[in-house]
Amino acid sequence: MGTARVVFDRWSDRYAKRMADVRSSAVRDLFAAATRPDVISLSGGMPDIARVPIEEVVAAATSALRDSGLEALQYGSSEGRPNIRSVVVDLMAEVGVRAKLDDIVITAGAQQGLDLLGKIFIDPGDTIITEGPTYLGALQAFSAYQPNVVCIPMDDDGMRMDLLAEELKRLGPRGAKFIYTIPNFQNPAGVTLKPSRRRELLDLAREYDIPVIEDDPYGRLRFEGGHALPLRALDEEVIYLGTFSKILAPGLRLGWVIAPKPVLAKFLLAKQAADLCGSAYAQLTAERYFADTRWRKVLQDLIRGYSERRDAMIEALEEYFPVEAHWTVPAGGFFIWVEMPSFLDLKSILAEAVERGVTYVPGDAFYPDGRGRNCMRLGFCFAKPDDIREGIRRLAEVLEDRLELYRAFADAGALSAAAGITEERG
């Protein structure tokens, strides 16, 4: 595999300072090099789009053009078409969130929502609170606005409320611009915030007067267990980000934000400055797609497929991975988080893994400050179950090699220590 090419940039002293903190991804360069067909990707977060019946999307797109061509090809309103917002109203009602048409703005994916929320809330040096680890696209979007990111650790039940409470106490009332959370099947950790913690989080946010941003791309991809009410269902002050990327297709670039009126007004200004309005063609296509009830069957099929892949990955981890490894067991979504002993640097062994034909994302990509190098995110969303098993087997070999090295060192250390003790005693 090749190494990333360094390109001389003669404009490097002209860019705004804010871009200095927007991280380039060395990992992405590495993956670009890993295009060999035999490389199994456990790194990506791409939906299994092959399960979405293309003929139904073609029918929806054709109808959008044939029946509403003048609208599909014209500028639209910045909020998004009323009909697509009405689809969002219905989708949200099904998960317990009451929203009206004018509580909603359609975005170019949840990612645009993150960027625009960063734009309207963050001044350089402001503190924001996220889970640690957190979604790397959020870190990237927010970093352009130069915040100080405070990460709150998680356990199997999501963000630790005791640690959040400590941090808020330290920061004081209004001490952070917002709390950003992914409560369902978190990216990258795979864990879900348990219901009692949802209420605690909202109580703390109210006590310290800090807005909450709830990012929920995976909430409908639940494999087992009961539905947990979104934060937005419990508190209408919450800013909620949703997306069509995982229930239809990311290529349409359609998401939404639901927010209190004043926040939505600011958001709309930022949206207008960014792109005037979203694609009417994409919105019409989605409207047509969701007008037919078959989307529910497609979603069930997607959930079944992801659940099988999750099982395949967990079984393979149990079979092949070293005893030193610990991993989360997600009840939905796309990702598993693996933690190795702290002396293992998973970033430095990624190249070797690619060489052996498997990719993952090293954990430090999900922290703002280099933490997480002994961790990795594994995605079970894209590769087929047999490939997942083989990928985990290959990865286990790489890890075992490294661990053997460390075990040998540790044994040598233990032997010499033991020798020292014997000598002393002697």
Ligand X SMILES: Cc1ncc(COP(=O)(O)O)c(C=O)c1O
Q: Which residues bind ligand X (CB under 6 A)?
A: 45, 109-111, 135, 137, 182, 187, 215, 217, 243, 245, 250, 255
Q: How far is the CB of 245 from ligand X (least distance, A)?
A: 3
Q: How far is the CB of 137 from ligand X (least distance, A)?
A: 5
Closest CB to ligand X among residues 106, 161: 106
Q: How far is the CB of 423 from ligand X (least distance, A)?
A: 57
Nearest partner of 192 among 223, 168, 166, judged by Cα: 223
Q: How far is the CB of 170 from ligand X (least distance, A)?
A: 26
Q: How far is the CB of 225 from ligand X (least distance, A)?
A: 19
Closest CB to ligand X among residues 114, 398: 114
Closest CB to ligand X among residues 321, 334: 334
Q: How far is the CB of 67 from ligand X (least distance, A)?
A: 26
Closest CB to ligand X among residues 46, 65: 46
Phi and psi, residue 375, nearest 5°: -120, 165
Per-residue HEC secondary structure of the chain comes to: CCCCCCCCCCCCCCCCHHHHHCCCCHHHHHHHHCCCCCCEECCCCCCCHHHCCHHHHHHHHHHHHHHHHHHHCCCCCCCCCHHHHHHHHHHHHHCCCCCCHHHEEEECHHHHHHHHHHHHHCCCCCEEEEEECCCHHHHHHHHCCCCEEEEEEEECCEECHHHHHHHHHHHCCCCCCCEEECCCCCCCCCCCCCHHHHHHHHHHHHHCCCCEEEECCCCCCECCCCCCCCHHHHCCCCEEEEECCCCCCHHHCCEEEECCHHHHHHHHHHHHHHHCCCCHHHHHHHHHHHHCCHHHHHHHHHHHHHHHHHHHHHHHHHHHCCCCCEECCCCECCEEEEECCCCCCCCCCHHHHHHCCEECEEHHHHCCCCCCCCEEEEECCCCCHHHHHHHHHHHHHHHHHHHHHHHHHHHHHHHHHHHHHHHHHC
Q: How far is the CB of 38 from ligand X (least distance, A)?
A: 26
Closest CB to ligand X among residues 187, 359: 187
Closest CB to ligand X among residues 208, 335: 335
Cis peptide before 133 (omega within 30 of 0): yes
Closest CB to ligand X among residues 302, 325: 302
Q: Are 27 and 366 in contact (CB under 8 A)?
A: no
Closest CB to ligand X among residues 121, 208: 121
Closest CB to ligand X among residues 158, 255: 255
Which residue of the chain is nearest ligand X when measured via CB? 109
Q: How far is the CB of 140 from ligand X (least distance, A)?
A: 11
Q: At which residue do the structure tokens 């409207």 appear?
A: 287
Closest CB to ligand X among residues 68, 186: 186
How far apart, in whole angstroms, are the C-alpha atoms of residue 151 and residue 164? 9
Nearest partner of 57 among 254, 245, 285, judged by Cα: 285
Q: How far is the CB of 182 from ligand X (least distance, A)?
A: 5
How far apart, in whole angstroms, are the C-alpha atoms of residue 98 and residue 101? 10
Closest CB to ligand X among residues 217, 363: 217
* Stated length of the chain: 426
Q: How far is the CB of 13 from ligand X (least distance, A)?
A: 32
Q: Are 220 and 245 in contact (CB under 8 A)?
A: no
Q: How far is the CB of 379 from ligand X (least distance, A)?
A: 10
